[in-house]
Amino acid sequence: MKLYDYLPSGNGYKVRLLLAHLGLKHERIEVDSNAGGTQTPEFLKMNANGKIPTIVLDDGTVLPESNAILYYFAENTAFLPEKRIDRAQALRWMFFEQYSHEPYIAVVRNWLHHPELLTPERKARLPDLKQRGEKALKVMDEHLATEPYFAAGRYTIADIALFAYTHVADEGEFDLKKYPAIQAWIGRVKAQPGHIPITQG
């Protein structure tokens, strides 16, 4: 199968990390989404929404959306909880990640890494985005103060989804020292068998 990916992307890293845990071989195709690589006619024909990661299965089936890809590969493995309510709680944190976390923590990191993206209009929005990102980290830290992981009491795709951008939040000038429970959880995630860093393709 093929994984259309962009190495600095936390959304791409989620999929790389789960595939590494599961030992699933794939061809990785690098697409620079900041340079318009996901907006070409060829890419849009495959995924009209123009985003990586996108998986193409061996039978040609196209599956975009990082968290849907995580769900697909996690089914019937230890990375998706067995109990119905735990599966729903894992998804609850994955929707939280895409709505209340990624649009602030990932977006600020991307803008700060690519000064050409930081237009005056975006620069003016930075304080608001930073504040919303801090709120997401606070919600995570409160949960992790009493729970080792996000769902089912163990490491699941909810942790993979939230780890991807949280562990590099400092690259968006978020100070993780303020969140001790998150720091401890990052240590637990990194200690999982088969863990790979975001820099590994």
Q: Which residues bind a second copy (CB under 8 A)?
A: 48-49, 51, 57, 61, 63-69, 71-72, 75, 84-85, 87-89, 91-92, 94-96, 98-100, 102-103, 121, 124-125, 138-139, 142-143
Between strands 27-30 and 2-5, the pairing is parallel
Stretch (H or E) spanning 140: helix 120-144
Nearest to a second copy of 36, 197 (CB atom): 36
State the minimum distance, in angstroms, from the CB of residue 28 to a second copy.
20
Shortest Å distance, C-beta 43 to a second copy: 13
- Cβ proximity of 173 and 130 under 8 Å: yes
Nearest distance from C-beta of residue 139 to a second copy, angstroms: 5
Beta strands across the sheet bearing 2-5 = 27-30, 2-5, 54-56, 62-64
Task: Kindly give the pairing relationship between strand 62-64 and strand 27-30.
Answer: unpaired
- We find the least distance from the C-beta atom of residue 2 to a second copy, in angstroms, to be 16
